[in-house]
Amino acid sequence: MKKKSKYNVCVVGAGVVGIEMLRCLRRRNFPFGALRVFARSNRDIEVDGQTYQVEAITPEGFSGIDIALFAGTEGEKGAAVTYAHQAVSRGAVVIDNGADFRMDKNVPLVVPEVNATDIKKHKGIIANPNCSTVQMVVALWPIYKKAGIKRVVVTTLQASSGAGRAAVEQLNQETSRIASRGFASVQVEAQDNIKKAMPQQLAYNVFPHIGGLSDDDYTSEEWKLVRETHKIMHDDKIKISATTVRVPVRTGHSESVYIETFEPLAPEKVKSILAKAPGVIVIDELGKNLYPMPKDAESKDEVFVGRIRRDPFVKNGLWLWVVADNLLKGAALNAVQIAEHLL
């Protein structure tokens, strides 16, 4: 990218991720000149006291744009399918948070703490991984470099905001309605007239269904953890199995991650390695009730790791508990970090 003092940036999408992208750009003092917001229709939005004029997206709107951040919508075909190549043809570099280009062999899939050098391989489009993948590989990469990893078994506990603003609103409404009945029943009733963004009730409930049905009765979200990790870490020999679960949390994904390393690593050594790793904070004092929790990770940039312990029955087996803000490190922040490396 041609070196400049200021870069013209656009954010495509004015939902929860798009708003966090705007916040990240300002908070991190990104050297933007023009900062524009594109979406389906014209309107004004206010973010932290700053008013943005949202413009209806058109191919011509990308003229003069240096970096286009596409907020994306998990599980759906994003605006990038229609407009990414239009933006590239007009001179922009696209950083896409959606799923559409992640497994394209010509598109780098990047987590800067892991594979920032892949950014150099871009041909106009760089992909942001799935939120659950991002936080997992940030935690695993320092261990992988030290001892190798041959197996990963992960269960994710994913917040409602991972499915967008409508899912958060569903959680809020369901929680309010149930609480107003004095907890006589934790079932949401038809007469509650709650618009559902999720296939199941969110409040006072968990369900193991994120994404569509895919190969071998796994969901598409579960396969993302496998295939994206292989691509980012440049190692498709790692055996990865995942279960993804939606939980009644507003923001902040948690993951129970089991790994087997090739070389032995004591838990204290793992804590030391992770404590020195970029973008990682270790919180692991069970006796003092200190461990990562989504309520504490919300609005934080880092990936938090705790409950680091060995498997007493399997040689080189280790458990980790990994928590991060899915809207920040899992989406908006990671995209802005890619843009920073790009410069």
Task: Quote the pLDDT of residue 327.
Answer: 97
The pLDDT profile of the chain, 343 residues, written as one tens digit per residue, is 788 999 999 999 999 999 999 999 999 999 999 999 999 999 999 999 999 999 999 999 999 999 999 998 654 567 899 999 999 999 999 999 999 999 999 999 999 999 999 999 999 999 999 999 999 999 999 999 999 999 999 999 999 999 999 999 999 999 999 999 887 889 988 878 899 999 999 999 999 999 999 999 999 999 999 999 999 999 999 999 999 999 999 999 999 999 999 999 999 999 999 999 999 999 999 999 999 999 999 999 999 999 999 999 999 999 999 999 999 999 999 999 999 999 9
Nearest to 37 by CA among 75, 4, 84, 69: 69
Contact status, residue 52 vs residue 21, Cβ threshold 8 Å: no
Nearest to 141 by CA among 238, 227, 267: 238
Task: Quote the pLDDT of residue 193.
Answer: 87
Nearest to 128 by CA among 142, 108, 106, 113: 108
Task: Quote the pLDDT of residue 72.
Answer: 84
- Quote the pTM value: 0.95
Which residues does the annotation mark as catalytic? 131, 253
Ranges in the chain annotated CATH 3.40.50.720? 7-129+332-342
Cα–Cα distance measured from residue 306 to residue 296, given in angstroms and rounded to the nearest whole number:
13
Task: Quote the pLDDT of residue 76.
Answer: 55
Task: Quote the pLDDT of residue 77.
Answer: 66
Ranges in the chain annotated CATH 3.30.360.10? 133-159+206-326
**CA R_g for the chain:** 20
End-to-end CA distance of the chain: 7
**The domain over range 133-159+206-326 is classified in CATH as 3.40.640.10:** no
Task: Quote the pLDDT of residue 73.
Answer: 67
Question: Which CATH superfamily hosts domain 7-129+332-342?
Answer: NAD(P)-binding Rossmann-like Domain (3.40.50.720)
CA 171 to mean position of chain CA atoms = 20
Task: Quote the pLDDT of residue 11.
Answer: 97
